[in-house]
Structure 1
Amino acid sequence: MQPEFWHERWSSHRIGFHRDAPLPLLVKHWPALDLAPTTRVFVPLSGKSLDMVWLAERGHRVLGVELSELAVRQFFDERGLVPDVHTTAAGTHHAAGPYELIVGDAFALHASVLADCAAVYDRAALIALPPDLRHTYAATAWRRLPAACRGLLVTLEYPQPQKNGPPFSVDADEVHARLDTDWRIDEIERRDILADEPGFVAEGVTALSTVVYRVERRS
């Protein structure tokens, strides 16, 4: 899956993955992480997610990374913010208020860029990637987060032969296989959501669950 795929999705406004409200599972489970309000949160493949706004409203600083410059521009425009823009080896940084969004490649972020991210929130990154790129993503962005970083990972599970991703099905065995070496992983909620996703039903999917994991980077 090449970057052009995502650029085309944004330019043609085929962004069914974008939600018009914060994810209820984030609202439910984030407070239990007991993070300091000023904690910086890494949001990979961030798009223009309103989850970032919810996190900022809790006092957090948000570091997002996103391939689509259009998505990043829309995020700031929709907040009425004019970001400062500068370029580094990581990509083009757009910063205003509590937000810093990098137009760049999450796989290529150096550990120094992520060094002060004491939290991570992945709702739509791991499940957006096919298996080979999930392996690369776990071995790069996730591995470069600092010790004791903690957060939430949200996945989907469904019979993969019934639908072409993205989003892809990523089951618990794969989550552990990708991340166990570096992370402590606890499943904290599993919810059947097929009735709430008519698009999946229309494609012939017969079972669909969302799963929330609490994750903490090992020392």
Structure 2
Amino acid sequence: MAMQSEHNFWHQRWQNQQIGFHLQSVNPLLAAHFRALALKAGQRIFIPLCGKTLDIHWLLAQGIHVVGAELNQLAVDALFAELGLTPTITQSGALRHYSAVDPQAVKIDIFQGDFFALDQALLGQVDAIYDRAALIALPADLRVTYSNHLLNITNSAPQLLISFHYDQSLLPGPPFNVSADEISAHYGESY
């Protein structure tokens, strides 16, 4: 799938509110395994392709500085509305940078636009990665590029990755089937 058609697919999903992937509560896998990241209040976690996940609310409540990347502006606008925050918006190259501080003085930064336009200098220090739905949202031809870029811009920060492994012939995806072997191929040298 070409990059532009991939972008159009996700923009259309958000426009039509076909966002069944958006959970109505905190992902139980995040709550169960968050401690493994050993983050302290004020440290930064990066969430690629973050959408408007309620996991962001939960992480902010833990005192964690959230940095996300999201293609779709509707998702970013909805996230800040649901958080009750009015962000400062600046243009950073090809990306729009939304930044705010919540009532507990915890910071949130979201870069809206193409994930591949985000670089290490713009992203800044990352203490951990939470990939809740990015790798599995991408077709096979983009997953290698995605995982390499993620490792590069985060300096291979510790990662909590949620994946699905199922018979891909049963559903066309997304989410896509990503086996343990494929995860090892993407990340085995770093983790």
Please report the TM-score for the alignment, with normalisation by the length of structure 2.
Answer: 0.91
Query: For 1:43, what is the secondary structure of its paired residue?
Result: strand
- In the other structure, the counterpart of 1:139 is 148
Check whether the contact 2:138–2:174 (CA below 8 A) recurs between aligned residues.
yes
**What code does the residue aligned with 1:170 have?**
V
1:102 aligns with 2:102: no
Identity, % of aligned positions = 43
More helix by share: 2
> Mind listing any 5+ residue stretches in structure 2 that lack a counterpart?
102-106
Aligned equivalent of 1:151: 159
Q: What is the match of residue 93 of structure 2?
A: 89
Deviation of the 1:90 alpha carbon:
5.0
Following TM superposition, the consecutive aligned residue runs of length 4 or more in structure 1 with deviations greater than 3 angstroms are none
Gaps of 5+ in 1: 185-219
- Asked if 1:18 is matched to 2:22, the reply is yes
Q: Secondary structure in 1 aligned to 2:163?
A: strand
Indicate the RMSD between aligned Cα atoms, in angstroms: 1.2
Aligned with 2:162: secondary structure?
strand
Which residue pairs with 2:175 in the alignment?
167
Alignment partner of 1:120 is 2:129: yes
Normalized per residue, the structure richer in strand is 1
Partner of 2:104: none
Please tell me the residue identity of whatever aligns with 2:128: A
Q: Which has the higher contact order (CA 8 A, sep 6+)?
A: 2
- Distance in 2 between the 1:44 and 1:17 partners? 15
**Counterpart position of 2:67:** 63
CA distance in 2, matches of 1:61, 1:177: 30
Relative to structure 1, is the Cα distance of residues 6 and 137 closer, same or farther in structure 2, using a 3 angstrom cutoff?
A: same
Native 8 Å contact 1:118 1:146 kept in 2: no
